[in-house]
Homo-oligomer: A and B are copies of this chain.
Amino acid sequence: MEVGIIGATGYSGLELIRLLKNHPQVTNIMLYSSSQSGETINRLYPHLQNEQWKPLKEIDLNKISAEIDVMFLATPPGVSAEWSGPLLEAGLSVIDLSGDLRLTDRGVYEKWYKRPSAKEGLIEQAIYGLSEWNKSTIKTAKLIANPGCFPTAALLALIPLIQAGAIERDSIVIDAKSGTSGAGKSPTSMTHFSETNENFKIYQVASHKHTPEIEQQLAKWGAQPPLSFQPHLVPMVRGIMATIYAKAAKPLSNEWLTDCYNSAYENAPFVRIKENGTFPATKHVFGSNYCDIGFCYDERTGRVIVASVIDNLMKGAAGQAVQNFNLMHGFDETAGLEAVPMYP
């Protein structure tokens, strides 16, 4: 199968290259760019030095279906809204890693993203690519809205509890922590080494655009918005932990929680449920597509506390995109994603 990437020079794009390069079903990778056409990726990124890459090229919609079967979009806001439609019409499947097509309510998109939304017909076609929970629709999809990094960590932890009616729906607090790679490759003061190392920051207080994405998905499983979602920046490159607090709707136990999670994910190759009394750390999933989930019922407070970790560039972006690519094409769900986490 031949695949293309738009946005290959960003961090999610680089991660797609890393995964697809060794994917057993991918025979060719084409890199597309309008602004950097003619450039070669291994000149921009020396870690790719000895790979043979054709230069980045502009998209020609008349020829694209002869070149590739699937296009991955690892692009800033707005690009997917513009290109997904024409690419679908050209006969390609599209996997969009951006946030353009995730929110079904266009007004919500415009409020949180502060920019015009994609046009109406397009959004309706997009399947939300949370692999573990939308598997059947993903398998037949032509257009995937790949989930955001924070929503992936939060939803995998919350859906089993919501589905079971185990928590009070207006009590959910998601305190999230991310490495800097989620902020992308553009140098800024926020991610300048001298001001980021030995520093822990809170950002976008009560205003992060992944909030409505989480709320929209949870609403499908019965939780009423709104909830509190709050991100922080950790002085590390990769990894997200979401620590989730919610009031139990009834007396629970750690055993009940263990059963709840194990049954929810018994057939999910990338979700690992921690044994009672043990908890995940981001490094346990570094470089892999795993989501590790640990939890505790705190009798004192009547709260469930859940910690969910992912590698934000993997399960939080490129890894899940490849997982969806596998599901869409009937490949083994883990194809190209078998790497053992790198530790230490």
Contacts and interface: CB of A to CB of B under 8 A. Distances in A.
A203 B194 CA distance: 17
Nearest to A215: B300
A200 B46 contact: no
A20 to B, nearest CB: 10
A227 B301 CA distance: 6
Number of copies: 4
Contact of A185 (B183, B194, B279, B307): B194
Given A206-B296, A340-B22, A234 B197 contact: no
A286 interface: yes
Contacts of A173: 173, 175, 245, 303
B300 A237 contact: no
Interface string A158-182: 0000000000000101010101110
B344 A194 contact: yes
A106 interface: no
Contact of A177 (B49, B189, B200): B200
A283 B199 contact: yes
A239 interface: yes
Given A177-B232, A279-B203, A283-B195, A226 B338 contact: no
A323 to B, nearest CB: 15
A147 interface: no
A191 B47 CA distance: 17
A241 B230 contact: no
Contacts of A339: 18, 22, 339
B307 A202 contact: yes
A50 interface: yes
A191 B187 CA distance: 8
A188 interface: yes
B281 A200 contact: yes
A131 interface: no
6 contacts: A47-B285, A193-B237, A199-B281, A200-B234, A287-B287, A287-B342
